[in-house]
Structure 1
Amino acid sequence: MNPLFLDLSGNLNLSAKIRHRIGADLGELHIRSFPDGESSMALKSEVHGRSIVIMTDLSHPNEKVLPLFLLTRILRERKAQEIILIAPYLPYMRQDAEFKLGESKLAKHFASLMSDHVDKLITVEPHLHRIHDLNDIFTIPTANAHSRQSVVEWIIKHIDNPVIIGPDMESTQWVAPVAGELSQPYLVAEKMRKGDKDVSIFIDGLNDYREYTPVVIDDIISTGFTMAGIGEHLKFEGFDNSVCIATHAIFVEDAYLRLTQSQFAQVVTTNTIPHMSNQVDVSEEISRAYASLVT
């Protein structure tokens, strides 16, 4: 029997592509919000004994996690065989250390909660820094769908002679493989963060690549201040054609406007989170990751 696909994401283009690729049937789920902020769920599809695939967009997670957990409880109650979660963006992974007195590693606690509610997890490029593998914090099978190949293909089609730039040392894990597949050079920026909105930038060796197109790559753009600072630095150094690429388009408040006004010629993202900047499709990578968990 085909798996049953339930979409909580609102990312209709991506979810339709994934559902088609994995051969799932579309389930009928109706969610209604009440004025007091509560919701009701009406699951019309028969789920007994079936494998259920839930796709959800977990950007701005606090308002989306509870409906997800309630749905999983309904599915358990109705004897679904298994629950597989596709969450292209996985939140809370940046909270992987006790940065200040009294704080906690919320990434670990979030993973524990998810592991209690679903049986398998597929995500795209989770922010892994101090945590090196999702299996270090999740107690369920997980799969990481890498966006690298689709990003490389986009660059090949749209950018002549790129030099790949990472916004900080942490980003080397993303930019080095991309540069390697392109057989192009890469640089890593150094940033001094004085606050969430105050970042100074230096890129050693940039002057050696005057004939190249700078392509700045990161996994997440949230406030956009770091990326904007890099765009302004590149413009100051005489690069008028710089491109910014990110996997996850969080874009808090006016972050996207900030980037488009910071001298980047293009701002490009994958379609893990719906946004007007989505130009890189990762449905194939997600579908392959799904197949790796179910076969």
Structure 2
Amino acid sequence: MSALYAMPGNEAMTELLVLHSGIPRRALDLHRFPDGETLVRIEPPPAQGDVAIVCTLDHPDPKLVPLLMAAATARELGAARVGLVAPYLAYMRQDTRFHPGEAISASIFGKLLGHAFDWLVTADPHLHRYRQLGEACPLDARVVHAAPRAAAWVRQHVESPLIIGPDGESAQWANAVAAALDAPCVTASKERRGDRDVRIELPGIERWPAHLPVLLDDIIASGQTMIETLRCLRRHGRPAAVCVGLHGVFAAGAREGLLAAGASQVVTSNSIAGSTALIDISEDLAAAMNELCSDPRPAGNTIPGGTTA
């Protein structure tokens, strides 16, 4: 690959990718006009080289149009293939039509990216009804799993952890971390009554009275499921828990709400930059990126599904 470009807000991750991959970074600038439109300007890529644009996709809507313009401009200026490194991939949770007339956002968003990019690297997309990323995103993809890095952080900072998945969808990540640590794991039962109305139960938690609870989920957004799990732990008389999220999306007030509900610490990966981003997955992202570019396919060629790295 010949160049990396950082969309605004992705500079720190891009510098880590430069460090791990040896691929140089080139300039990308955005100018916002008073009417809300954006002018994208990039340093031209080497002719017929591969380039990657780094853009994590939390709060994606304002980012999307400049990102698509940057990809198109890189291609127009001579890039042979244009890839996207999106440590967090948005819109994957709306993977079916829950109510009549709703958009299936995961499929729409994935196809949009598939038209703009030749390949994709991401970390732990929220795949629930899709078996693999390629069902939503029709392009060559690599999926990095953050669970080993999360497990390493827990091993270093928490003695005798009890890993708790706050709902059934979190079980795959909670079980992976617990297995890496040889630690017990409990999956909470959840009844969701609305965006911020959730009831939690923790069956069997009394079996591990001496273990420190570690709540683990792939995404912390509103934080409400974790907040209700913390309240359930308090009802059981358990000590303050550590909350670990692979992706810290954090709606307004979510982190503060977790701490107020009794979390001793809130930790996430650096898929999204922030004060909680203490688990570094950049080396794994760089390895996946290099793997895609070490065996390049012709521009526009895709494979049926994303593979793991």
Q: Shared fold by TM > 0.5?
A: yes
Offset at 1:19?
A: 1.5
Which residue is equivalent to 2:228?
Answer: 229
Give runs of aligned pairs for residues 63-74 of structure 1, distance below 5 A. Answer: 63-74=62-73
Q: Which amino acid aligns with 1:117?
A: A
Which residue is equivalent to 2:161?
Answer: 162
CA separation in 2, counterparts of 1:240 and 1:35?
51
The CA RMSD measured in Å over matched residues stands at 1.2
CA separation in 1, counterparts of 2:2 and 2:234?
50
Q: Which amino acid aligns with 2:101?
A: G
Which residue is equivalent to 2:12?
Answer: 13
Give runs of aligned pairs for residues 41-190 of structure 1, distance below 5 A. Answer: 41-190=40-189
Which residue is equivalent to 1:217?
Answer: 216
CA separation in 1, counterparts of 2:139 and 2:197?
39
Contact 1:221 1:248 in 2 (8 A): yes
Contact 2:122 2:143 in 1 (8 A): yes
Contact 2:56 2:86 in 1 (8 A): yes
Contact 2:45 2:78 in 1 (8 A): no
CA separation in 1, counterparts of 2:63 and 2:10?
14
CA separation in 1, counterparts of 2:184 and 2:88?
28
Q: What secondary structure does 1:160 align onto?
A: coil
Contact 2:213 2:239 in 1 (8 A): no
Which residue is equivalent to 1:240?
Answer: 239
**Does residue 30 of the first structure (1) align with residue 29 of the second (2)?**
yes
Offset at 1:116?
A: 0.4
Offset at 1:9?
A: 4.5
CA-to-aligned-CA distance 1:4-57 (integer Å, 9 cap, x gap): 010005133222111221111110222111111111122233442121111002
Offset at 1:104?
A: 2.6
Offset at 1:197?
A: 1.2
Q: What secondary structure does 1:138 align onto?
A: coil
Question: Post-superposition, which runs of at least 4 consecutive aligned residues in structure 1 deviate over 3 A?
Answer: none
Q: Which amino acid aligns with 1:271?
A: N
CA separation in 2, counterparts of 1:108 and 1:234?
37
Offset at 1:192?
A: 1.0
Contact 1:240 1:264 in 2 (8 A): no
Contact 2:58 2:90 in 1 (8 A): yes
CA separation in 2, counterparts of 1:288 and 1:44?
25
CA separation in 1, counterparts of 2:35 and 2:206?
57
Q: Which amino acid aligns with 1:262?
A: A
Offset at 1:93?
A: 0.3
TM-score (norm 1): 0.97
CA separation in 1, counterparts of 2:146 and 2:47?
34
> Which structure ranks higher in relative contact order (CA pairs < 8 Å, sequence separation ≥ 6)?
2
CA-to-aligned-CA distance 1:250-289 (integer Å, 9 cap, x gap): 1111111111111011111011111111111111111122
Contact 2:2 2:51 in 1 (8 A): yes
Q: Which amino acid aligns with 2:81?
A: E
Contact 1:150 1:282 in 2 (8 A): yes
CA separation in 2, counterparts of 1:154 and 1:58?
24
* Higher mean C-alpha displacement, 41-50 vs 145-154: 41-50
Offset at 1:125?
A: 0.4
Could you list the runs of 5+ residues in structure 1 that have no partner in the other structure?
Answer: none
CA separation in 2, counterparts of 1:185 and 1:251?
27
* Higher mean C-alpha displacement, 203-212 vs 46-55: 46-55
User: How many pairs does the alignment contain?
Assistant: 294
Q: What secondary structure does 1:64 align onto?
A: helix
CA separation in 2, counterparts of 1:150 and 1:84?
24
TM-score (norm 2): 0.92
Contact 2:4 2:14 in 1 (8 A): no
Q: How high is the sequence identity, in percent, across the aligned residues?
A: 33
CA separation in 2, counterparts of 1:29 and 1:283?
20
